[in-house]
């Protein structure tokens, strides 16, 4: 791998220094410059022509989103990784940035100015490396997002006219790095009358999952929410597992209802929420009426559960390498024999509908 040139943009001198210290621990990364605000960033981008930019969302003179759009106009090949504060406002702005073309994000572990940014250092380095191997998701994301939102306004979604009965089928989707953009390619294309519930496990911190669920709800034909304790899985409805806790499912013995149970157990998982934990729980309740989907992400979370779902007679779908931002999780599922269907992200909505119709 050639050395990756990185430009750090943050209005905090302490944060610039902290990020630089983290990145310089990796021999494949060269920090070519640092900028204190958006205007300074545009000058430094012209001067150094970096491969990747790490950018604080909240900056004076020019905010991160505006700066990113100018960067894309000036330097279309650059990859942008947002560094976001763990707040609701920070989360919503982050998802806007992802829709507009940012590669991914990392969340500062303790607010806007983080002395302990080293906690997410490995994640930041991994995402920088992943970003240079991928094409930017789209060249005209803004127009696509606006078109999608305009189309959504044309569709009046009435909860009273859509069948919201308890479901007997579930689609459980696991995803990590690159997930928000990939899910936005898939979930808006799921029809409102899907004869199944959808549960999404996206590796994401608390607060971010609530904001992301709202983003999905605004853009999808089926309603989405962040899952809460005691929620009932219903046909044609979607849930996002909350950050920082596992989502499991339990069946009401005397009825056909399946209830959400949020739990901190097991405590030794690499990710919380864990795709494996949720998939295994849903498989236990729904058996062969489970559709497992594993999308882009680093590591192997969900791969073992995909094997179990397939062995139990359920249907499993893994994203192909051709579209995966990071071909880690789906590759593990494929190599372990846990993927019945391998498809690019733009075909997965159709594959989900076909799978539900087969059950």
Among 40, 246, 301, 345, the one annotated catalytic: 301
Task: Say how far apart CA 279 and CA 290 lie, in whole Å.
Answer: 9
Among 84, 176, 211, 281, the one annotated catalytic: 176
Residue 285 appears among annotated catalytic residues: no
Residue 203 appears among annotated catalytic residues: yes
Among 56, 114, 203, 347, the one annotated catalytic: 203
Give yes or no for a contact between 234 and 219, defined as CB atoms under 8 angstroms apart: no
Residue 131 appears among annotated catalytic residues: no
Supply the residues annotated as catalytic: 176, 203, 301
């Amino acid at each position: 791998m050639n050395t990756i040139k990185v430009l750090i943009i943050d209005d905090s001198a302490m944060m610039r220094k902290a990020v630089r210290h983290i990145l310089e621990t990796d021999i494949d990364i060269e920090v070519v410059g640092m900028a204190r605000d958006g205007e300074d960033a545009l000058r430094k981008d012209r001067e150094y022509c970096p491969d990747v930019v790490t950018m604080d969302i909240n900056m004076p003179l020019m905010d991160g989103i505006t700066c990113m759009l100018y960067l894309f106009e000036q330097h279309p090949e650059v990859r942008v990784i947002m560094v976001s504060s763990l707040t609701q406002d920070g989360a919503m702005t982050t998802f806007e940035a992802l829709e507009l073309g940012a590669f991914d994000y990392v969340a500062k572990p303790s607010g806007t100015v983080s002395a302990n940014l080293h906690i997410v250092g490995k994640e930041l380095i991994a995402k920088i490396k992943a970003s240079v191997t991928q094409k930017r998701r789209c060249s005209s994301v803004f127009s696509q997002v606006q078109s999608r939102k305009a189309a959504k306004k044309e569709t009046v979604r009435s909860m009273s006219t859509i069948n919201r009965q308890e479901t007997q089928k579930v689609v459980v989707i696991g995803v990590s790095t690159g997930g928000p953009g990939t899910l936005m390619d898939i979930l808006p294309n799921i029809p409102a009358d899907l004869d199944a519930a959808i549960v999404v496990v996206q590796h994401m911190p608390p607060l971010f999952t609530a904001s992301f669920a709202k983003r999905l709800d605004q853009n999808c034909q089926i309603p989405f929410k962040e899952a809460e304790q005691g929620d009932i899985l219903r046909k044609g409805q979607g849930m996002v597992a909350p950050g920082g806790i596992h989502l499991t499912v339990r069946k009401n013995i005397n009825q056909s209802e399946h209830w959400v149970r949020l739990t901190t157990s097991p405590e030794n998982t690499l990710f919380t929420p864990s795709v494996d934990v949720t998939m295994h729980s849903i498989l236990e309740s729904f058996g062969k009426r489970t559709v497992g989907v594993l999308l882009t992400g680093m590591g192997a979370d969900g791969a073992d559960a995909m094997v179990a779902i397939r062995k139990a007679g359920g249907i499993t779908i893994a994203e192909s390498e051709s579209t995966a931002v990071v071909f880690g999780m789906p590759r593990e599922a494929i190599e372990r024999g846990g993927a019945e269907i391998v498809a690019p992200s733009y075909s997965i909505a159709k594959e989900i509908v076909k799978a539900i119709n087969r059950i």
